[in-house]
Structure 1
Amino acid sequence: MKVWSEGPARLGVRTAAGRDALAAALLILLSTARLLPAVHNGTLSALAPGVVAIGFTSAAADLATIALRRIRPVLALAAASVIPLAAMLLPARPALIGVGAVVCSYTVACLLPQVRATVAIVVCGAVHASGGVFATLAGGGHGGLLTFWGVLPGDLAGMAAAVAAAYLLPATAGFAVQARRAGAARAAASIARDREERARTAVAEERARIARELHDIAAHDLSAIVVQAGAADRLLDRDPAAARATLRAIRSQGRDTLAALRALVGLMRDSEPGAADGRAPALTGVEETVRRFRTTGMDVEVSATGEPRPLPVTTGLAVSRLVREALTNARRHAPGAKVSVTTTFGEAGFAVAVRNTRPDRAARPTGADGSDGGYGLLGMRERVTHAGGALTVGPQPDGGWLVSASFPAAMPASSPASSPPEHA
């Protein structure tokens, strides 16, 4: 089937209807090639030229129905059933006459609903068989449908077998193909539904994790603000300068906390990428994450390119989560591999990449079926997309794995979105 599609494509025939037309043209040429030697050798000299022309035209018309089999399948089958009946009245059987009925019967069974296809095939077969019987009883010299079937004149049983060969056998094959295609379509739809359900479940789990992170941010940062506020209260009378410095630190931390909370809430609400306020240190979260993984024995190398600068909070959270998930996956699936974390600050934006080499030993399965059942990549993709970035994940030629993300240029520090209003 692939060769049948690719061969005509090289000739510029790229549609199914075009391939059918090409097949019909080739069969007509073959019929013509069969006719020419007979004319040259004088085999048909006893026949009038008009009879020969009518016979060739009948064969060409029968084969031309193949070109219409997908466009008008019932009409093509009806024509392929009637044309050979007319040819039976001729004193000589044209070459390849009756082939159109075989091909069109198969096509009708493939393309049309089963009931409609059955009715069309049975009616056309009955008409053809009735015409053949009538022509035989009336004294016609030829019977049957296919020249290669070998039906003798007056052999009604052979003619019935020829009808079955021309209509019922191709129809059976066509119905089988239609059933197989329907089964494949149902299986594909079921797989798509399962994949969509797994994706929805993964996103829900990711948002539940985000909610937990939101709680952690609130609990940690607000506790720190409360402690700093108590210290400022104690310093207010004896060291006003220190108290003012503490209050400024409280205001700064409050802004960062509020920006982080807004970023997380915006992610759970599917807000527009890059809409979160506030700025975050460029690589603080990455450095802390790498430090924790190094304590577990992982060989992690960190490199940076460009001049570091503060990032929007959504970008900082996305980068931190990406690095954490990528290092977790490397530890789980590529034990003993060397891992590199590369960050790039450029004029066009910021990029981070986590790449691991080929593992030096096989990973141990984490589930009963050998799979971890995790959806970390889905979570990373949602986080990166929310921050306005693009995620790339895939194997490397050396047997390793790459997780990288790029983000657009950060907003200037003077942008009004860089700090929330004082009353927010």
Structure 2
Amino acid sequence: MHGRSRLHRALDSVGFDVLLVGVLLVVPLVIGAASSQAELLVSAVLVAPLVMRRRAPVVSFTAIGLMLLAQVLLTDTTLYGDVALLFGLYAIAAYGPRWAVWAGLATGLLGAVVATEDWLGELSDARSYLFSLTSLATIAFASWLLGYLARTRRAYVATLEERAAQLERDAAQQAQIATAAERARIAREMHDVVAHSLSVMVVQADGALYASRRRPEQAVETLRTISATGRSSLTEMRKLLGLLRDETAGAALAPVPGAGDLTDLVAQLRDSGLPVELDVAGDLTRLDVATGLTTYRIVQEALTNTLKHAGPDVSASVEVHVTTDTVRIRVDDDGRGSSAADDGQGHGIVGIRERIAVHEGEVEAGPRPGGGFRVTAVVPLQPPREHP
């Protein structure tokens, strides 16, 4: 394709027009088309304006037309240089402005009539006159039509190139949008994993520190739980970081958590010292991967906020109800609610809202009646596909 592009640029260059004029001037010398030096000179003058046929097609065609008109007025003979009109017709149709394209065609057909009248006149019969007129008009129209087709093809190619460039720009923009969305998704996952795991580990570490003074055996068990939590978090971190690597890196990715892992999540938090009650109604296996992950992360984030902000001696409850068309989630705690201190660095509730927005669901978070904090969310389910 690059070779063809270079060829097209060469053909469109001024050098090609100069070469064309040079060839047209050499041909009469080689084949003896000019009977005298005067005819050769006049032919050269007729052909010379073709040098400007691309840069100034209207000027070039006008100059050729005026010289041919002068030839008709001064002599009744044909010249080799008359062929310049055919090249001029091609150029005006291919490179001239829109108005000049049709004016050039009219001029070419009129020239066929004038040439037939000048060369034959009253000396020919009607049949010869009609044959000459038809032949010259056909040749003129064919030259103009070739130029017009070249113009149309060039416009078509330019349109295709512009469309390809636009598609390339759109593809690059879509790639940037997709990259930003993927980074945001990974950031949410990283926040959920790190915030939850570290919160659990901090609570357990505090408990181990307290128990090490009076109940060393319980401290050892707590440290084991911390170790297990850290290992689980590292596994999920490797999974998320694996999404940023090349697929050929061969990193082993852990399965994405889903609604079915809520029991393990609650058990982990119970081990860390947070009493949690779990109430599940409906079939969690109905949830697709994306909805299951969203459900898991919402519960995880809400309970992590309980650990971080609810204060001591707090308990929580989780309700997950799977209906025909929605998953309804409610997480309550009896902690300090809106009175809890906020460092301004948290992204938990924001992350929950972002996840719900992906599913076009609903979420509310705030103090509940009687004290404590409540997070409720509704995640729409996609309707099951009907099998034929």
- Relative to the length of structure 2, the TM-score reads 0.48
TM-score by length of 1: 0.44
Larger radius of gyration: 2
